[in-house]
Structure 1
Amino acid sequence: SKIAALLQQKQTNLPRYLKVLIDLDLLEREVPVTEANPEKSKKGLYRIKDNFINFWFQFVYPNRSYIEMGHTDFVMARLEKNFIDNHVSFAYEQICQDKLWELSAEGKLPGVLERVGRWWDNTHEIDVAGISEADDLLVLGECKFWAGPVGINILAQLEQKAEFVDWHKDTRQTVYILFSINGFSVDLQAVASARHDVILV
């Protein structure tokens, strides 16, 4: 969409009105959590911070003609079809990031995190990531807002993605954390019980 394209522009190309929206705290610039110099990173993306405004641009603005004509059943059907994948799952990622901060503050991680966010490169993306330079700790996580329990395959996929994260690759301690709205499979629970580097939330 045009909005998505605008939000992914480099900072030097930002139109003035987008800078105003950043100053109003409606937009934010996000970089992979492992970036050493976030302000100078060329990997920055821009996203709408406010969940209500994000909802409006995704579901109300594109359907305003149908809403004005009274076709609310049609709009509700479209909303119900895309609400979880296009809105709730992203809000859930932010909740999981906040929970990761809490786990760090409560001493439930093998180090104290200094930065929490997401991580991505050209081909891979990790929902939640945290680093501690002082403790040489990398925490990588996936957030699953879906109907069934999360299985061991999600942990395996996360471990594969971890190979592409270059931060302190030879010395770091890596912890994997999986967030699920509907629990975990028996096999995954058994793995988490046997390993000190897997956390289920």
Structure 2
Amino acid sequence: MLHLVRDLARRTRVYCIKPEGMEAAFKVTVTLRARMVEKWIRRVKRDFLNAATTKCLGLDCEFTDPRKKKAGEEQRAAVLQLSVASEMLVFKMIHADIKVPQVLTNFLEDGNIRFCGAAIDNTLKKLRLESIHITSAYDLQKVVPNPTTKTTPSLYDLANHTIGTNLEQKKKYGHKKKMDVTAQEKEEELIFRWANYPLS
């Protein structure tokens, strides 16, 4: 992992990650700033979506800790993750200067863009609490033919079948003992642990 930028004034960090065994590197923008979200959206529209016949993005969301909520309080969207091609945005909504910028709302509600994820019904529900209504969402585990004998295929199963890879899902825990974590997993864990830590 290469740390490209850390701008304290803008409270944004940009990382370049090159997974082992893959030729392409991924650019991950982690931010609290609505302005950086807007810049990311403009860039991916210009570089990837405008010319695409099928406009498609990956969508995921992390939520507030259900153990820390007050009585009667709903679990909320805390971190929004969007990805297209080699670009990924990690927007820490819970600590953001503007929790849901209008440009982001318009982007997510654009019916011409397909937002894809796995088991995303809960993500859609939590985003509705923030007044975001995604109309063009696809749960890949439901719409892609199941290439396995499992009831619900994992994203690894779908990726391996669709793009012909042989990726293996790493399990950090097994048989009640913590397993060794590869260097790549440690890098990813650091990024996402940082993504859930408030910037100062």
Structure of greater Rg: 1
Q: TM-score, normalised by structure 2?
A: 0.27
Q: Which has the higher strand share?
A: 2
Q: Which has the higher helix share?
A: 1
Q: TM-score, normalised by structure 1?
A: 0.27
Determine which structure has greater relative contact order: mean sequence separation of CA pairs < 8 Å that are 6+ residues apart, divided by chain length. Answer: 2
